[in-house]
Amino acid sequence: MAETSPTILWDFDGTLAIRPGLWRSSLMEVLNKHEPKHHVDEEEIRLYLRDGFFWHRPEEPHLHIMTSNAWWAQTETIFIRAYQGVGFDHKRASELARLVREYYINPERFLLYVDTIPVLKYLSEKGWKHLILSNHVPELPDIVKALGLSPYIDFCITSAATGYEKPNPEAFRIALSLIDNPKKVWMIGDDLDADVRGAETVGLPAILVRNPGSENVKYYARDLLEATSIIESNI
C-alpha cells in the first residue's frame, strides 16, 4: 500500500491570512453604514467581544448547532450584547447584529500574507498536502476559495461545521481521519494554546508562527518561510 502523502495542518486567521480588526471592525462597519451618526469607537465594542464565542470554551462541543444559520443565530447574541452595551435598545441591537454576518464574511476584508501562496506552492511541489483546520465561521471554505487558495488546499475544516474547537483533541482527530492519518504531519498556527498545545496533545509536532514572545515552545518561526525550513530540517 502506498504511503499517504505528508500533510500540514494550517490555521487560517493570523497564519495564512488576516482580517484587520477581526470582529470589532465588522461591527463598526455595520454602524458606519447603518448608524452613520453614532459616537462609538472600536475599543468600546472590543470590550463586549472578549467572551461568548464557541472557541472561548473549546472543551464544550457544540454538536447541536447543525446549520450555518443556527451557528450565526447563536453568535449574534454576542453582537446584540455589544450593541446594547454601547447604547442601542434591544430591538435596534438585534437588527444591527443580523447584519454582521454579511460584513464579516466578505472575502475582500481578508488579506493573505505575502508568503502564503509561495510557501503553499513550494511545499505542494515537494509532495506535501495541505489542510486548513480553523476555529472559524461556516463560510470559511468560500472565503478560502475567493482568496485563491483552493489550488493548494486539499481540505478546509471549520469548527463551525464540526462542532469542535481547537485545542479540543477531537478537532485534530477529525482532521487526521480525513487524510488517512499519514506518518508525517505538522501543525502550523499563530496561537500557542489552540494550535501548538492542541496539536502536541495528540502527538503532532507544531510550529508557532507570527507570534513572538511566547515561551516554552519547541518550534517558532517568524514567518512561513522559516516554518518551511524547520519542517525540511526535521524530515
For residue 2, name the pLDDT band (cuts at 50, 70, 90): very low
Torsion of CA 217, 223, 227, 228, to 10 degrees: 180
> Of 153, 188, 129, 223, which Cα lies nearest the Cα of 11?
188
Average of pLDDT values for 102-130?
A: 97
Of 1-10, 112-121, 148-157, 198-207, minimum mean pLDDT range: 1-10
Cell numbers of 156, please? 478546509
Q: How confident is the model at residue 227 (pLDDT cuts 50, 70, 90)?
A: very high
The larger pLDDT score, comparing residue 105 to residue 182, is at 105
Q: Which CATH architecture has domain 7-18+110-233?
A: 3-Layer(aba) Sandwich (3.40)
| Cross-strand bridge partners of residue 129 | 7
Q: What would the mean pLDDT of 59-83 be, rounded to a whole number?
A: 97
pLDDT, tens digit (0-9, with 9 covering 90-100), for 132-143: 999 999 999 999
Which three cell numbers mark 230? 524547520
What's the per-residue H, E or C state across 103-120? HHCCHHHCEECCCHHHHH
Position 53 scores a pLDDT of 98
- Same fold yes or no, 7-18+110-233 and 22-107: no
CATH fold group of domain 22-107: Four Helix Bundle (Hemerythrin (Met), subunit A) (1.20.120)
Single out the residue of 154, 146, 171 nearest to residue 120, CA to CA: 154
- On the question of pLDDT at 213 being above 90, the answer is no
The domain spans of the chain are 7-18+110-233, 22-107
